[in-house]
Amino acid sequence: MRVPASTQSVSRAKLIWEWIWRGATLAEKKKSLREVGPRAVVLAQRAHSCADLALNSTEIARTAEAARGTFAPGAPLESLADASTSELYRQSSYWALCALAANADEQVGKTYDVAIWDTLDEGLLTAAVKDRAQVVRASLREGSFVYFAELPASEQAALPEELRKVAERLIAKLDQPARAVRKVLQQRAWRLGAILLVILLLGAFLSWLRSTHELRSDLAPKATWRTSSKMEGGGCVSPAQQCPESTGFFFHTQEEADPWIEFDLGGEHEVSAVQVDNRLDCCADRSIPLIVETSADHKNWKQVARQDTDFKTWRATFSTVKVRWVRLRIHKLSYLHLARVRILP
């Protein structure tokens, strides 16, 4: 039987949504988190704390030894930094193994149990320390601060790094469910971000296309213009709307009643929008209320738009009219000056 197209569309939409949102995958990963009991969480926190302490113990121990050395210059100092670091990583490994076993036994970790070291996976240990696996296993089982402090100097120097690798692998195993959840959440964030970026880029591209189209279809650059009056020493020469002599506006009337600027398109054209950029440097309030009027015969004028509030850029849209002249006028005693006018089909 053929599956209806509507059902196929719904299935595709669900697959796409799941790829983006990762809801089913996230629910599955969170289920593994819920299977970790509260006792395991406490023990895992201990494992993390001991590892964090071990990172700082070497510097703390050396600083303390240097301070002691100032009271007995020249006296040999016994270094205990490696011993303390080894013991902290050993404890971190112990609590990590307890946390891994806690779901099967809620009593684990409440008393020291040397048998917990038997649960340390040989493959994990070998991957961490290679041919030193048996030495490191013995150090974990038999170790203590005294044990590490009494080792030969070469062993004291080697063990902290090896025990760190073991502890970090055990903690990584503990954190695997949480990392899996974080990974899915990161995938969701990246995919949503990618989609948002595509939307923004598409919006910017469409805006660029629109702007480019408007620049090409703008009727104003080829239209001559004249004004009801002219303020001496300011403005461009028609049909220019940009000139070095006047950067804030391209024309400036004198103060008068109902000042205007009129564009002659040179022939009849369909017009559906006028975009106006107000004067850039000051006096924007002078240009309101601004009225857009059109005419086909230069005698009968029709108002097609009006702006009654302050603006930087005003885009007036209206029903398409076939006209030759477009006029901008303010209905009061004022000056009229604008930075740019676009006339769009």
pLDDT digits (tens, 9 = 90+) for 39-56: 988 999 999 999 999 988
The CATH H-level superfamily of 220-344 is: Galactose-binding domain-like (2.60.120.260)
| Domains in the chain: boundaries | 5-190, 220-344
| Residue 190 CB burial class (10 angstroms; 0-12, 13-18, ≥19) | exposed
Under 8 Å CB-to-CB from 279, ≥6 apart: which residues?
248, 249, 286, 287, 337, 338, 339
pLDDT score for 76: 43
Tokens of 39: 């006792």
CA–CA separation, 229 and 236 (whole Å): 13
Single-letter amino acid code for the residue at 288: I
Give the residue ranges of the chain where pLDDT is below 70: 1-10, 33-34, 58-59, 61-79
> Which of 202, 277, 200, 262 shows the shortest CA–CA distance to 228?
262
pLDDT digits (tens, 9 = 90+) for 43-89: 999 999 999 999 887 667 666 666 665 555 544 445 678 899 999 99
pLDDT score for 233: 75
CA–CA separation, 99 and 117 (whole Å): 13
